């Protein structure tokens, strides 16, 4: 146990004692909710009210949260609707079990219902329509009947939305007629919207307006139908589409008023079982606070449901509130700050790897096709005697780099169309070659030559094989081609490629391995979910972390430390975080002054410094933060190529067209330092077994303070 984990254990023990006293007042909550992203606990699962005891009514089951997207009169064309549906599908398929924790429904306009049902098959997302006609059949030109949409696979109907009431004159009686018609159609459920105007709110009429709307809409409706087939959406009219959200406590008060009317009509047993959604300017930023209210059981989302990623993040907020299962109190994370150490101004810095052999960091700038290196002698280097970093222009988009077993400064490069080997020496010229991939540095083609993809994130496993994923080139544009079309691959010493996943995804990231090498971490960035799989055969997938919905961006590159925890760059969120893969707890946050850290790794003479690459527009430099509490990284394994593929392992690349200055110095102080302060030298030709023992020996040695 490191000093730090002892500190955490003690802190969590003392804080969990005080937390139990707070918990005792929350016995009447039936829903399992999250108190904050970091502090979550199970609320009492079953609810007994005084009158339930008298009537011997069965206990009310926990309310399952429900998030719905109301597309209104959007988007303009079938093509755009299909795009939105496909992006939603890509986010949910394989990544979210929408059929369990939280119910998810989208409400497209009538003409897109068919394609919505079709496209969303297998995602668990249900489809609803935004209103319905008042008749089942006959001479009613322009009308739509419940049986029609039900026969298409639609399962929900929204009734009484304020825009229907105010813009189309829909009365409470009409809402009631439509509700009766829907309930007569087996298999249909209803979201019944109620809510007050600003004037009504300001004159304290909220409770009575909602009371009247509910009572009139529910005339003749049985308690069983109310309990099993109706969801109430409370939507203050003044919050719809205005950007003004009711505060969580305003929403809670209104939901209590709704439940009071339901209690008066049907008794508390039914009232406690009915789900009540909040609607009105719900976003990824406010979903957590709303869902933390005991009577808020979900959200009806308008504007934010028109972007697949923001709707997905709102669903994640709902899922998190519904499925927070740990009763352990997690102390707040330790906050650190990284500072820029190399102002390299990368368009998109990525894939940092530290070589114990070379005592140097390597990284790339992906779109510019640049390979960078920096020999670094540690933060206690007096008078800043580190050498300046330098780069080579490879001339093709790069996905990642890795250390290559062999001579010093040898690296593997995953280029847009092929894998290459390269040496990185300060005197070898700014340009690698006139064309990036030559006979002497070519290793093999990358997979998926017929797809609009390229290699992306990757790391070398403990058997010295390269594991890498792909990047869907259309991802940035968010276009319809942003469907899942990328695979995860392993390149072995014979340069044979093996596909590792039985499904496709959009953007590979977070690939890294703990010291044992028996687990791999992986994330498809747009889904914001990080998984662990058993390795080397990818089985037993388990979700270990979902990025909090209120943080923009997504998980990017990652690295595992010697304690087995994952340090993840959260691009767009100004942060790198450490997550314990066993508990999902986030116990460190590294803040950056730039929005998009892209990846990280441990380096420095003691592997106790975290180096972080970043990207433009506001970043691009290399950042560093010294690790506290004895936290250290593991030596990075080197990719091995078998001898028969390796005659010319790190051959000289073709001579460049007019080499420019040998090095691109970005450090003002260019004093060379003698080499040889490496504490650990990986033995040549490590096998997986020797790697594991080397890592253990290294950890032991560094724990002893060497």
CB of 240 to ligand PGA, least distance (A): 4
Q: How far is the CB of 257 from ligand PGA (least distance, A)?
A: 19
Per CB under 6 A, contacts with ligand PGA among 570-609 are: none
406 binds ligand PGA (CB under 6 A): no
C-alpha 543: how far from chain center: 11
Q: CA 703 to CA 632: how far, in whole Å?
A: 9
Residue with smaller CB distance to ligand PGA, 240 or 424: 240
CB nearer to ligand PGA: give 298 or 389: 298
What single-letter DSSP state applies at residue 369?
T
300 or 627: whose CB is closer to ligand PGA?
Answer: 300
Give residue 122's region: left, alpha or beta (phi > 0; psi -120 to 50): left
Cβ 159 to ligand PGA shortest distance, Å: 12
Nearer to ligand PGA, 104 or 348 (CB): 104
Neighbouring C-beta atoms of residue 577, cutoff 10 Å: 23
Other residues' Cβ atoms within 10 Å of the Cβ of residue 385: 13
Q: Residue from 119, 235, 350, 483 that binds ligand PGA (CB under 6 A)? A: 235
Q: Which of 66, 270, 301, 634 binds ligand PGA (CB under 6 A)?
A: 301
Q: CB of 411 within 8 A of CB of 394?
A: no
**Which of 37, 160, 279, 395 is close enough to bind ligand PGA by CB under 6 A?**
279
Task: Report the sign of the C-alpha dihedral through residues 219, 225, 229, 234, in that order.
Answer: positive
CB of 281 to ligand PGA, least distance (A): 4
231 near ligand PGA, rule: CB under 6 A: no
Region binding ligand PGA by CB under 6 A among candidate stretches 34-42, 279-287, 576-584, 632-640: 279-287
Residue from 33, 183, 188, 300 touching ligand PGA (CB under 6 A): that is: 300
Give the nearer residue to ligand PGA in terms of CB position, either 236 or 635: 236
Structure tokens at 247: 């505060």
189 vs 351, which CB is nearer to ligand PGA? 189
Establish if 273 lies at the interface with ligand PGA (CB under 6 A): no
CB of 310 to ligand PGA, least distance (A): 11
SS3 state of residue 549: coil
State the minimum distance, in angstroms, from the CB of residue 194 to ligand PGA.
12
| Active-site residue, from 297, 358, 457, 556 | 556
How far is residue 329's CA from residue 546's CA, in Å, rounded to a whole number?
Answer: 18
Smallest gap, in angstroms, from Cβ of residue 243 to ligand PGA? 8
Piece of the chain touching ligand PGA by CB under 6 A; list 294-302, 441-449, 462-470, 494-502: 294-302
In the complex, least distance from residue 245 CB atom to ligand PGA, rounded to whole angstroms: 8
3-state DSSP of 74-93: CCCCHHHHHHHHHHHHHHHC
Cα–Cα distance, 545 to 565 (Å, whole number) = 12
Number of residues that bind ligand PGA (CB under 6 A): 12
Is residue 685 a contact point for ligand PGA (CB under 6 A)?
no
Stretch that binds ligand PGA, among 274-282, 431-439, 453-461, 661-669 (CB under 6 A): 274-282
Residue list for the binding site for substrate: 454, 456
Is residue 310 at the binding interface for ligand PGA, with CB under 6 A as the rule?
no
Residue 280 or 318: which CB sits closer to ligand PGA? 280
Nearest residue to 192 (alpha-carbon basis) of 279, 270, 273: 279
Catalytic: 534?
no
| Residue among 297 and 405 whose Cβ is closer to ligand PGA | 297
Least Å distance between CB 160 and ligand PGA?
Answer: 11
Q: How far is Cα 101 from Cα 238, in angstroms, rounded to an integer?
A: 30
Q: How many residues in total does the chain contain?
A: 706
Give me the residue whose beta carbon is nearest to ligand PGA: 302
| Candidate segments 296-304, 330-338, 430-438, 454-462, binder of ligand PGA by CB under 6 A | 296-304
Sheet holding 488-491, edge to edge: 453-460, 466-472, 488-491, 497-499
Residue with tokens 């969801």: 231
* Binding site feature residues for a divalent metal cation: 350, 509, 556
Q: Which stretch binds ligand PGA (CB under 6 A): 275-283, 333-341, 499-507, 653-661?
A: 275-283
Quick one: the chain helix, strand, coil %, rounded to 5?
25, 30, 45
447 lies in the binding site for ligand PGA (CB under 6 A): no
User: Quick check: 210 and 262 in contact, CB under 8 A?
Assistant: no
The answer to whether residues 633 and 358 touch, using CB atoms and an 8 Å cutoff, is no
Contact between 302 and ligand PGA per CB under 6 A: yes
Q: For residues 240 and 270, which CB has a smaller minimum distance to ligand PGA in the complex?
A: 240
Region of residue 137 (left: phi > 0; alpha: psi -120 to 50; beta: else): beta
CB nearer to ligand PGA: pick between 248 and 378: 248
Cβ neighbours for 490, distance < 8 A, ≥ 6 positions apart: 461, 465, 466, 467, 497, 498, 500, 536
Sign of CA dihedral 559, 561, 565, 567: negative
Interface residue with ligand PGA among 179, 282, 338, 412 (CB under 6 A) is 282
- When asked if residue 303 is in the footprint of ligand PGA (CB under 6 A), the reply is yes
Stretch touching ligand PGA by CB under 6 A, among 295-303, 389-397, 532-540, 577-585: 295-303
Largest CA distance in the chain: 92
d(CA 437, CA 28): 67
Of residues 30, 34, 49, 281, which one binds ligand PGA by CB under 6 A?
281
Q: What CA–CA distance (Å, rounded) separates 388 from 564?
A: 32
Mark the segment that binds ligand PGA (CB under 6 A) among 164-172, 300-308, 493-501, 648-656: 300-308
Cα atoms in the Cβ-side hemisphere of radius 13 Å centred on 495: 18
Q: Which of the residues 52 through 111 are near ligand PGA (CB under 6 A)?
A: 70
Which single residue is written with the structure tokens 């049985």? 222
Distance of CA 382 to the CA centre of its chain: 41
Q: Does 240 bind ligand PGA (CB under 6 A)?
A: yes
Contact 612, 597 (CB under 8 A): yes
The footprint of ligand PGA on residues 132-161 (CB under 6 A) is: none
- Read off the tokens for 197: 């105007």
Cis check: omega of the bond before 305, within 30 degrees of 0: no
Active-site annotation, residues? 556
Q: Would you tell me which residues interact with ligand PGA (CB under 6 A)?
A: 70, 235, 240-241, 279-282, 300-303
């Amino acid at each position: 146990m490191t000093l730090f984990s002892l500190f955490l254990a003690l802190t969590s023990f003392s804080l969990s004692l005080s937390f139990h006293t707070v918990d005792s007042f929350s016995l009447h909550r039936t829903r399992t909710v999250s108190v904050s992203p970091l502090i979550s606990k199970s609320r009492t699962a079953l609810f007994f009210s005084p009158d339930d005891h008298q009537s011997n009514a069965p206990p009310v089951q926990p309310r399952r949260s429900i998030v719905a997207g109301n597309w209104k009169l959007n988007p303009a064309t079938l093509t755009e609707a299909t795009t939105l549906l496909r992006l939603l599908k890509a986010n949910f398929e394989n990544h979210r079990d929408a059929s369990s924790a939280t119910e998810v429904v989208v409400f497209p306009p009538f003409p897109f219902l068919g394609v919505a049902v079709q496209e969303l098959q297998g995602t668990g997302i249900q489809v609803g329509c935004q209103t319905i006609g008042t008749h089942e059949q006959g001479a009613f030109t322009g009308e739509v009947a419940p049986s029609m949409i039900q026969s298409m696979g639609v399962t929900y109907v929204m009734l009484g939305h304020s825009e229907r009431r105010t813009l189309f004159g829909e009365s409470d009686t009409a809402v009631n007629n439509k509700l009766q018609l829907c309930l007569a159609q087996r298999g249909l459920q209803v979201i019944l919207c109620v809510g007050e105007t600003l004037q009504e709110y300001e004159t304290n009429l909220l409770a009575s307006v909602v009371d009247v709307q509910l009572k009139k809409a529910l005339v003749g409706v049985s308690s069983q139908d109310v309990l099993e087939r109706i969801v109430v959406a409370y939507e203050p009219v003044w919050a719809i589409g205005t950007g003004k959200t009711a505060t969580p406590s305003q929403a809670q008060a209104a939901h209590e008023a709704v439940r009071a009317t339901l209690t008066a009509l049907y008794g508390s047993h039914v009232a406690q079982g009915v789900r009540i959604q909040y609607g009105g300017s719900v976003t990824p930023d406010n979903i957590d606070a709303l869902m933390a209210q005991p009577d808020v059981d979900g959200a009806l989302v308008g504007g934010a449901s028109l972007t697949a990623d923001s709707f997905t993040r709102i669903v994640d907020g709902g899922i998190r509130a519904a499925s927070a299962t740990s009763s352990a109190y997690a102390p707040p994370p330790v906050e650190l700050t990284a500072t820029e150490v190399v102002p390299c101004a990368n368009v998109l810095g990525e894939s940092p790897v530290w070589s114990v052999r070379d005592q140097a960091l390597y990284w790339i700038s992906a779109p510019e096709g640049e390979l960078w290196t920096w020999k670094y002698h540690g933060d206690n280097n007096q008078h800043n005697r580190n050498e300046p970093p330098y780069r080579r222009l490879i001339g093709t988009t790069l996905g990642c780099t890795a250390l290559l077993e062999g001579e010093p400064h040898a690296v593997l490069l995953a280029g847009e169309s092929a894998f290459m080997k390269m040496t990185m020496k300060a005197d070898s010229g700014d340009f690698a070659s006139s064309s990036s991939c030559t006979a002497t540095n070519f290793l093999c083609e990358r997979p998926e030559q017929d797809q609009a993809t390229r290699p992306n994130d990757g790391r070398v496993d403990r058997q010295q094989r390269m594991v890498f994923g792909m990047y869907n080139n259309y991802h940035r544009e968010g276009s319809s081609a942003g469907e899942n079309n990328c695979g995860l691959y392993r390149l072995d010493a014979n340069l044979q490629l093996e596909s590792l996943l039985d499904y496709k995804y959009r953007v590979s990231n977070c690939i890294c391995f703990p010291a044992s090498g028996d687990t791999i971490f992986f994330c498809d960035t747009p889904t914001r979910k990080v998984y662990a799989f058993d390795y080397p055969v990818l089985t037993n997938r388990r979700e270990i972390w979902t990025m909090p919905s209120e943080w923009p961006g997504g998980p990017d590159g990652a690295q595992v430390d010697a304690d087995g925890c994952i340090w993840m760059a959260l691009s767009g969120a100004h942060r790198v975080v450490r997550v314990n893969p066993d508990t999902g707890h986030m116990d460190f946050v590294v803040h950056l002054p730039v929005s998009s850290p892209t990846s990280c790794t441990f380096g420095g003479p003691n592997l106790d410094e975290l180096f972080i690459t970043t990207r433009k527009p506001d970043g691009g430099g290399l950042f560093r933060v010294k690790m506290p509490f004895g936290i250290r990284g593991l030596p990075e394994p080197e990719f091995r190529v078998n001898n028969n593929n390796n005659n010319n392992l790190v051959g000289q690349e073709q001579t460049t067209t007019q080499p420019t200055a040998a090095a691109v110095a970005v450090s003002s102080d260019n004093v060379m330092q003698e080499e040889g302060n490496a504490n650990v030298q990986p033995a040549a030709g490590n096998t997986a077994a020797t790697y594991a023992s080397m890592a253990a020996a290294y950890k032991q040695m560094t724990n002893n303070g060497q």
